[in-house]
Structure 1
C-alpha cells in the first residue's frame, strides 16, 4: 500500500499563505509535489500578489534550494516568498550567533593610544586609561575605572549599555550616539552606567540599579556571570 502522506500542506492566514513542508521527504519529491499543487491553481487576472511563509520544520535549505522553491511559486502564480522558517541553522550561522552572544572576559589595562575591538558583550577586568578605547558590538562592563573612551553597540544596537565601577570617561558612545561633556561631578562617580534615553535622545548616566528595569536582558548576563 502506497504512503498517501502529503509532503506539502497549504493553509490560508490573514497575512497570506503558509506552506508546511514535511522535513523527512527528499527535496526532489517536495519540488515535484509543489509543482503538482501549483498546476491546479489558476490565478485570476490582476489578482494581488499573495505573500507566502514556508515552514521547514527540522529541514535546512541551501540558498539554491530556496531559489528553486521561490521560482516555482512566483512562476505563473501570484505568490511571493515572505520568509523561510526553519528550526535548523547552518553551522556558520550558529557559530556567528554564538560569537555574538558570548561574553568576552578580558583582564588588562587599556593604555593611552590602545584600541581594542570585540564581538558580543565585553567584561573588562581592569582600567581604561585616558586616551585608551574599547569597542564592542554588545554591552561594555568595566570592573575598574573608565577614564578613556568606551563604545558599546558598535553595530548599531541602541539597547547596549556601558557600566563601570568608576565612571569618568573622555567619551561614551552607544551605537551612533556620542555623549556630550559629562554633566556630573568632575571627580567622577562610582557604580554607574551609560545608556540611551530615547525621550531625551541622548546618552544619560544613571545608577547601575536601573539596568534591571530599563534593560531586562541584562539579567541574563548577571546569571551567566554568577553561574560561570
Structure 2
C-alpha cells in the first residue's frame, strides 16, 4: 500500500505530502513511520533541527487534526512543522479575500469618537467629522468630505493610496506612515494622490502621474486616466 505521508525535497527545504484520500489514522501512522526513519538516518550524522512544510492537497484539515499533527511532531526533538498548506481554503477565508478585492461604496457620516474599519478598497462619499476615523485595508477614493483621520493600507500596507481632496483632514495615514495636515504645505484637490515613496515617507502626487507613482495599480485599472 502506498504511504500516506511522503517526503519530498524542495529548493527551500523539506516537504511532507499527505495523501488527500487516505484515512486520517493511516496518515498519522505513516507520518510517525516516516519521522522514525528520518530520526534513525540522522542519528548517524550531525544532529540538526528540521522544519517541514506539510502539504495536504485538496483536503482541508480542521484545527483539531492540525493540532494532532503538531502533537506527533512534538515527540521528535529535532523535527517541527513550519507550515501546513492546501489547495483549498475555508469559506471564511474565501469571503475575506473577496472583501479585500472588492471596492466598497461608503456613504455615511463618521462622527467624533467613531472608528470605522473596512476591508478592501473604498469609494468614500460621506463625511468624516473631526475626531472620527476611517481605517481601510486597501485604497481610498475620496469624493466626500474628510475632516478627521483617514488611513489607507491599515494597519501596515505601504503600497496603498488615498486619491482625492483631503486638505481638511486632521491626519492622513498610509500603513504606518502619517502626516498631520495642519502642518502640511501641500496643495490638494480632487486629483491629489497620497502615497508612500521609495524612502518610506508619505508623499503627494497627481492622478495624471499615477503610472509613475504606482505602475501596478495603474495597470490594474487598465492604464486609463481621464482628464
TM-score by length of 2: 0.79
Contact map agreement 2:113 2:131 (CA 8 A) in 1: yes
Q: Deviations over 1:78-114 (max 9, x none)?
A: 2211111111222222233333333211234x47637
1:38 and 2:35 aligned? yes
Indicate the residue corresponding to 1:12 in structure 2: 9
**What's the Cα RMSD here?**
2.8
- Structure 2: gaps of 5 or more residues: 223-227
Deviates more, 1:31-40 or 1:49-58: 31-40
Q: Distance in 2 between matches of 1:146 and 1:220?
A: 28
The correspondence of residues 68-83 of structure 1 with structure 2, limited to 5 A, is 68-76=68-76, 78-83=78-83
SS at match of 2:160: coil
Indicate the residue corresponding to 1:226 in structure 2: none
Indicate the residue corresponding to 2:26 in structure 1: 29
Q: Deviations over 1:22-66 (max 9, x none)?
A: 111121111122222333331327501012111111111122212
- Structure 1: gaps of 5 or more residues: 224-228
Q: Distance in 1 between matches of 2:89 and 2:137?
A: 22
TM-score by length of 1: 0.78
Indicate the residue corresponding to 2:201 in structure 1: 202
Q: Deviations over 1:197-222 (max 9, x none)?
A: 241x4211111234344434535763
SS at match of 2:56: strand
Q: CA, structure 1 residues 71+5, in 2 after alignment: closer, same or farther (shift >3 Å)?
A: same
Q: CA, structure 1 residues 44+138, in 2 after alignment: closer, same or farther (shift >3 Å)?
A: same
Indicate the residue corresponding to 2:225 in structure 1: none
The correspondence of residues 27-106 of structure 1 with structure 2, limited to 5 A, is 27-41=24-38, 42=40, 43-44=42-43, 47-76=47-76, 78-106=78-106
Q: Distance in 2 between matches of 1:147 and 1:22?
A: 56
